[in-house]
Amino acid sequence: MGGSLGSSPEFNKDISNNVSPKAGADYFTRKLKNEITRIESMCDEWSKYKDQNDYPEEANDMIDVAIGQSKLLISKKFQQFRSLIEQCRSCEYIEKPITCKDLHGFWDMIYMQVEDLNKRFNRLGILKANDWQEVVPEKKPVVKRGRGRPKKASASSTLKNLIKAARNKKKSNDEGEIP
């Protein structure tokens, strides 16, 4: 669930069917509920892992950070979004009308934080699978490139000799014509 909705066929289909503020609010309420459920499920899974397993202190810190960020996102940004949804649904505005486009823009903005959480939890999963050892990618050999301006192409000695002979011949012809 989730993701940026702007270009997904699902979003375009849903939003074209949900032109009223109430229908748009219902759509984003479902999205929000599904995302909260998914994030809380990941937090519960990692909380259980912490309680039942032995792992390095550094791993404990990373798990705590991921869970803490999740809870902050749910309690702050998602609640702010829920408030905007309710304003859109009820058509009772504090400042100006909240439209479905406004909800979509706010969703895209907070979904960047959701993607960051996804990356954190995925990284925890990778570390756990590797017995909490950091996987260092292999370094590719560095190919050195030339620096500065490229060198001028130099003419071969045969070509130089031909040019020199042609100049001398022309010079001797020019000197012979002067009275």
pLDDT per position in the chain (179 positions), as tens? 445 444 444 544 455 444 688 889 999 999 999 999 999 999 999 999 999 988 899 999 999 999 999 999 999 999 999 999 999 888 877 778 888 999 999 999 999 999 999 999 999 999 999 988 887 777 777 777 767 666 666 667 788 888 888 888 888 887 766 55
Q: Counting runs of H as helices and runs of E as strands, what totals does the chain give?
A: 6, 0
Pairwise CA distance, residues 101 & 112, whole Å: 17
Q: Which of 71, 59, 63, 170 is nearest to 120 (CA)?
A: 63
Q: Would the pTM of this model clear 0.75, i.e. be above it?
A: no
Pairwise CA distance, residues 18 & 77, whole Å: 24
Task: Look at the block and give the residue holding tokens 């620096």.
Answer: 147
What is the SS3 assignment for 163? helix
* Secondary structure (DSSP) of 28-49: HHHHHHHHHHHHHHHHHHHHHH
Pairwise CA distance, residues 80 & 74, whole Å: 9
What is the SS3 assignment for 5? coil
CB 47 within 8 A of CB 67: yes
Q: What is the dihedral of CA 26, 32, 37, 38, to 10 degrees?
A: 130
Pairwise CA distance, residues 134 & 89, whole Å: 47
CB 40 within 8 A of CB 84: no
- Residue ranges covered by each domain of the chain: 9-129
